[in-house]
Chain A
Amino acid sequence: MLATDPHLFRLPGDGEDRPHLLGSYSAEAGLHFWPRRRRCPVTRTPVEDVELGPVGTLYAWTFLHVPRMGKVSFGDTGGYAVGQVDLPEGVRVQAPLVGSQHDWSIGDEMALTLFPVGTDDDGQELVTFRFEVVR
């Protein structure tokens, strides 16, 4: 299993059940960022690599009535949801959501999970991340 973009997130390690987003922390500004920054965008000082999440709160969502998401098909009348999730570190992440149109509301607790999107040229499964409601 391979991450579509290993600069944005990492797969769950041993004993972990969820992936983690890869971000930056600016000690000078006291702010977290995602994706990783070259330097703090506020103070222009050095940042350190940190891991974020994987659980946050749904800030906004929509359901796209588009039958395909890249190479993934949802059938002729399908679609998919995307949302913005606020992580406890103060980072807002935009990502696809698991579920159908009536599965979530603003304020729901959301957790990061994996989502298979195809295979690479060597036949290895490619996965990206999305959020699901924590029940």
Chain B
Amino acid sequence: MTSKMGRRVLVVGVGMHPFGNDGVAATDMGYVAGVAALDDAGIDFPEVGALYNGYIGGGITAGVHLAKDLGLTGLPVTHVENASATGSSAFGEAVHAVAGGRVDVAMALGFDDMNRMGGLGRSGKRGLGAEDVMLPAAFFAMWATRRMHEVGTTVETFAAIAAKNWNHARENPMAQRRADHEMTVEEILASTMISYPHTSKMACAAGGGGAAAVVASEDVARRLGGPMIEVVASQQRSETYTDGHVFLGAVIGPAQMTRDTAADAYEQAGLGPRDLDLVQVHDAFPIEELVYYELLGICGDGEGDKLVASGETSLGGRIPFSTDGGLTARGHPGGPTGLAQIHETVLQLRGGAGPRQVEGARTGLCHMAGAGSVCVVHILQRN
């Protein structure tokens, strides 16, 4: 199912509005992020050939209205929604628009405020069904208790992953949760229990934000003259049937989906997990990051716990994960999150990530899951 890239595609600009709960309108955050990405690329909006807006909570025409603020240039504007993977899918559409020759420059723009989002699930039904009581926290927690049963993972391991991501966010001015002190495993464990074994400081933060990326053909990127950050893989999949498949209410999805999407991406990029210098994943709860170590091939099945214990996925370790704080601490508004991952990876590959810089970073992977049924993987490389 591996899709081909066509023309080479490079990320020429990225921008963000800080994630948080400051009451700024989602479209205002999107505007700030979009203008920042254009400025970063050094181009004016009329040069953008196509715009892909990613948002979940806005009104039906929010994306088109935002385009009016950027300029009435007549470009095609498309609304993309794929749950948590919305921003990742919008980025993928922009990449493929350039790769396929539709345009020479495309922009993906994500914005959202999770606090103003409408109800999820089967609203309008007569009564209270099982589906209506299954909070997302429950699915991830069940994944965690099963993992504890099968592999012997401890709550301390989950807390260690969360503490790592909180501490990564301390060096990220765009992050929603910036602790004024070094977070410890004990502090994570002592926070309010939400859904056993996950505590409130292990859960991704609810808030708003904006993030954007501008991608371009090789000719345009060379003319602009900035660092050449190439999108060497852009892959997206949905579920295939696996034993124990859950049709009603699954928000984590079958493990095989992430394995397959990652395999497609590695094949397309012509590299493997050992070639990666840093990774961003959908870490809404620490069980996810732990399992994705294995599903992305960073280590063998059941070996993720050892990776945490040895510090290999922390900044300064062999393969840092969630260098900007991840969903846990950078925050997770649905629309911009995937684009925030691209923003972080591009900064890292340019060598511009400041105190959280991964030394010599050349190749980074971004992974997002959406509603348990969507998986998007991008691999970026500095040339």
Within 8 A of A (CB), among B269-317: none
B120 within 8 A of partner (CB): no
Within 8 A of A (CB), among B185-200: 192-197
Inter-chain CA distance A35–B149, complex, in Å, is 27
9 A-B residue contacts at CB 8 Å?
A59-B146, A60-B143, A62-B141, A62-B197, A63-B195, A70-B132, A71-B128, A84-B142, A92-B244
Cross-chain contact of A64 among B138, B145, B249 (Cβ < 8 A): B138
Most A Cβ at <10 Å: residue of B130, B141, B193, B195: B130
B246 within 8 A of partner (CB): yes
B125 within 8 A of partner (CB): yes
Cross-chain contact of A59 among B196, B244, B250 (Cβ < 8 A): B244
Within 8 A of A (CB), among B133-147: 133-135, 137-139, 141-146
**Contact in complex: B129, A8 (CB < 8 Å):** yes
A95 within 8 A of partner (CB): yes
| Contact count band on A | 35 or more
Cross-chain contact of B247 among A5, A33, A101, A118 (Cβ < 8 A): A33
Whose C-beta in chain B lies nearest to the C-beta of A126? B127
Inter-chain CA distance A61–B139, complex, in Å, is 9
**Contact in complex: A62, B128 (CB < 8 Å):** no
**Contact in complex: B248, A34 (CB < 8 Å):** yes
When each residue 45-79 of chain A gets 1 if its CB lies under 8 Å from chain B and 0 otherwise, what string results? Answer: 00000000000000111111110011110000000
Most B Cβ at <10 Å: residue of A35, A69, A84: A84
When each residue 86-122 of chain B gets 1 if its CB lies under 8 Å from chain A and 0 otherwise, what string results? Answer: 0000000000000000000000000000000000000
Known: A59-B146, A61-B145. A94 touches B249 (CB 8 A): yes
B126 within 8 A of partner (CB): yes
A132 within 8 A of partner (CB): no
Known: A92-B245, A92-B246, A94-B134. A62 touches B145 (CB 8 A): yes
When each residue 97-135 of chain A gets 1 if its CB lies under 8 Å from chain B and 0 otherwise, what string results? Answer: 000010000100000000001101000001011100000
Closest 8 CB pairs between A and B? A4-B127, A62-B141, A70-B128, A60-B142, A60-B146, A117-B128, A126-B127, A92-B244
A12 within 8 A of partner (CB): no
B243 within 8 A of partner (CB): yes
Whose C-beta in chain A lies nearest to the C-beta of B141? A62
Q: Which B residues are in CB contact (< 8 Å) with A106?
A: 145-146, 149
A sample of 11 more A-B contacts (CB under 8 A), given A62-B195, A64-B194, is A35-B247, A35-B248, A37-B247, A60-B146, A61-B142, A64-B138, A65-B195, A69-B133, A94-B134, A94-B249, A128-B128
Q: Which A residues are in CB contact (< 8 Å) with B144?
A: 62
**Contact in complex: A4, B129 (CB < 8 Å):** yes
Inter-chain CA distance A101–B195, complex, in Å, is 11
A88 within 8 A of partner (CB): no
Task: Name the distance in Å between B98's Cβ and chain A's nearest Cβ.
Answer: 34
When each residue 14-45 of chain A gets 1 if its CB lies under 8 Å from chain B and 0 otherwise, what string results? Answer: 00000000000000000101110100011000
Inter-chain CA distance A12–B246, complex, in Å, is 24
Binding site for A on B (CB under 8 A): 125-130, 132-135, 137-139, 141-146, 149, 192-197, 241, 243-250
Inter-chain CA distance A120–B244, complex, in Å, is 34
Q: Which A residues are in CB contact (< 8 Å) with B142?
A: 60-62, 82-84, 94
Task: Name the distance in Å between A36's Cβ and chain B's nearest Cβ.
Answer: 10
**Contact in complex: A34, B126 (CB < 8 Å):** no
Inter-chain CA distance A4–B7, complex, in Å, is 53
**Contact in complex: B135, A41 (CB < 8 Å):** no
**Contact in complex: B125, A4 (CB < 8 Å):** yes
Q: Which A residues are in CB contact (< 8 Å) with B137?
A: 64
**Contact in complex: A60, B145 (CB < 8 Å):** yes
Q: Which A residues are in CB contact (< 8 Å) with B192?
A: 65
Inter-chain CA distance A126–B127, complex, in Å, is 7
Task: Name the distance in Å between B291's Cβ and chain A's nearest Cβ.
Answer: 13
Inter-chain CA distance A120–B126, complex, in Å, is 8
Q: Which B residues are in CB contact (< 8 Å) with A8?
A: 129-130, 248
**Contact in complex: A63, B196 (CB < 8 Å):** yes
Known: A86-B244, A106-B146. A70 touches B141 (CB 8 A): no
Inter-chain CA distance A33–B247, complex, in Å, is 8
Inter-chain CA distance A83–B143, complex, in Å, is 10
**Contact in complex: B133, A42 (CB < 8 Å):** no
Task: Name the distance in Å between A90's Cβ and chain B's nearest Cβ.
Answer: 7
Known: A64-B135, A65-B192, A84-B142. A95 touches B127 (CB 8 A): no
Q: Which A residues are in CB contact (< 8 Å) with B139?
A: 94
Whose C-beta in chain B lies nearest to the C-beta of A82? B138
Q: Which B residues are in CB contact (< 8 Å) with A80?
A: 133
Task: Name the distance in Å between A7's Cβ and chain B's nearest Cβ.
Answer: 10
Q: Which A residues are in CB contact (< 8 Å) with B248?
A: 8, 34-35, 93-94
